[in-house]
Amino acid sequence: MTPFQVGVSRDFLGADGRNLWGDIGLHALDEAGVRWSYLDRDTDELIAADLAGLDGVIFAAPAITRRTFDPAIPGPAVFARFGVGYDSVDLAACTAHDTAVTITPDGARRPVSTAALTLLLSVLHHVVVKDRMVRQDRWQEKTAWMGRGLTGRCVGLIGLGNTATDLVGLLRPFQVDVVAYDPYRTPESARECGVRLADLDPLLAQADAVIVMAALTPETRHLINARRLALMRPSAVLVNVARGPIVDETALAAALRSGRLAGAGLDVFETEPPAADNPLLGLDNTILSPHALSWTDEMATGNGDSAVRAVLDVLAGQAPRYVVNRDVLDRPGFQRRLAGLTAPR
């Protein structure tokens, strides 16, 4: 049998040919005797020609679409996504071609929850505008920018998944009241985390800070729109560390500009990078990050180890832990692929 072959998407590489993330644990592939290399093209979409002969692919930015597959050429048995989002992956196409798609919630959990807390505190304390005051000799303006403490406040979470649950633990020292909107969680499971569930509109009306941590789906696109922003307290802040299109940016900018909302912290945008005329860029009551606030060595190690583990699980004939298109696991074609793969001797 031919050796197990793995491709790594080329967007990991910088201009100098080094991995932008540093050590992402690819040495574990070497130790397992797996042949791997970076893909030839740096592309926004992987197509079948990019993947010929590969059994697994570790990828970050490229989209996986129907063009990724050619019925005449067997595709990879696993696409291991370096991260937790998979809105750019056509799961139905992957399942139809007996390909598992995995994500890395174990690797992203603490880095993203820490980023959410960092952004929340930065917005409440006006960190960026106060930094500008010092650099621009505007020291006397500081009394116009009193911050707000977090202790004892109500924090609303949109989504109570893996990362949000970790954030709840980080928030405990602040003695906050945490309420969450998540139609997939039961009240009992939320209570085990120290969280109470609520419908979205009541949550928005009572929270001092709202943090978006849900996945982007057709149901969550523009979930936070003008009507819902109007429900929030004028003193409240909104933080988004999930996906930009969950929030209607035009409506958010209008609410911030008019004073209907006190502030916002965004690590993600509807279009990335945002256009130069995006009104959010000119507002002092926003703190913005280029979808990179959780870009840390901790994230690199965690996501990399998890993605590599998924590939090695497939090599060992086992279903990886974090498969998102779980229907594929029962397909005879995928089962045959697991049984037919082997490590090089």
Long-range contacts at 328-331 (CB < 8 A, ≥ 24 apart): 328/94, 328/95, 328/98, 328/99, 328/100, 328/101, 329/100, 331/95, 331/98
**Residue whose C-alpha is closest to residue 315's, from 74, 23, 84, 1:** 1
- Residue in 97, 126, 243, 337 annotated catalytic: 243
Q: Dig out the tokens for 62 from the structure.
A: 């490229």
Q: Structure tokens of 177?
A: 């009241």
Which residue has tokens 């910088």? Answer: 14
**Catalytic residue from among 196, 272, 326, 336:** 272
Cβ-based burial of 303 (10 A; exposed 0-12, middle 13-18, buried ≥19): buried
Is residue 272 part of the annotated active site? The answer reads: yes
Contact 337, 98 (CB under 8 A): yes
> Taking Cα atoms as reference points, which of 211, 305, 256, 307 lies closest to residue 7?
307
Concatenate the DSSP letters of all residues of 9-31 into one string. Answer: -GGGB-TTSSBTT---STHHHHH
18 is annotated as an active-site residue: no
Q: Is 222 a catalytic residue?
A: no
List the catalytic residue out of 67, 260, 291, 331. Answer: 291
Active site residues: 243, 272, 291
